[in-house]
Amino acid sequence: MITPFVMLVAALAGAGGGFALRVGIGAPAAHGADAAEEKAHAGRTAASRGEKDDSHEKPSAAHGEEKAASTFMKFSRQFVTPIVVAGKPTSMMILDVNIEVDPALSGSIYAQEPRLRDAMLRVLLKQASDGSLEKMLADPSVLEDTRAQMLVEARAIAGDGVLSVLIMDVGYQDL
């Protein structure tokens, strides 16, 4: 009778601690950004009054420009591609891929995930069959070529709102 109660209390304490940790980690970053912004505005205010600017910060190159931040579409699963040598699978490449999109696409891009996933996998399988994918770890140009081909495919499906393809992680596993 007491064991379920102890387990419930432990679960609630763990959930509360996890929530507090997540909130605690996110707070300093936001505070630091606000402090930097306030300091930058204070420097411009002092300069406009003819006072000496002691902020020692360079003005932002994008100041005055309102550029919307992009959003990122993270695929629900990693891409696993077999490396086949002489008709036999010898290893696997595991890639974590994100797509950077215009904020206007952020609501609709996830509805296109199956088509995008199919297109990305098609690029990876083509490169695996011609032998270039396994060279990705040693040759950065192969990584860039893969990214460029994926971008072309993603834009064909979702339009010009697709800004870039990011390959976040690459793993290699022998079979």
d(CA 27, CA 10): 26
Q: What is the pLDDT of residue 7?
A: 52
Say if residue 23's pLDDT is above 50: no
Q: What is the pLDDT of residue 67?
A: 59
More confident of the two residues 169 and 24: 169
CATH 2.10.240, applies to 71-174:
no
pLDDT interval class at 46 (50, 70, 90): very low
Q: What is the pLDDT of residue 32?
A: 44
Q: What is the pLDDT of residue 14?
A: 54
Provide mean pLDDT across the span 21-37. 43
Domain boundaries, the chain: 1-65, 71-174
Q: What is the pLDDT of residue 140?
A: 92
Q: SS3 string of the chain?
A: CHHHHHHHHHHHHHHHHHHHHHHHHHHHHHHHHHHHHHHHHHHHHHHHCCCCCCCCCCCCCCCCCCCCCCEEEECCCCEEEEEEECCEEEEEEEEEEEEEECHHHCCCHHHHHHHHHHHHHHHHHHHHHCCCHHHCCCCHHHHHHHHHHHHHHHHHHHCCCEEEEEEEEEEEEEC
Q: What is the pLDDT of residue 69?
A: 87
Calculate what percentage of the chain has a pLDDT beyond 70. 61
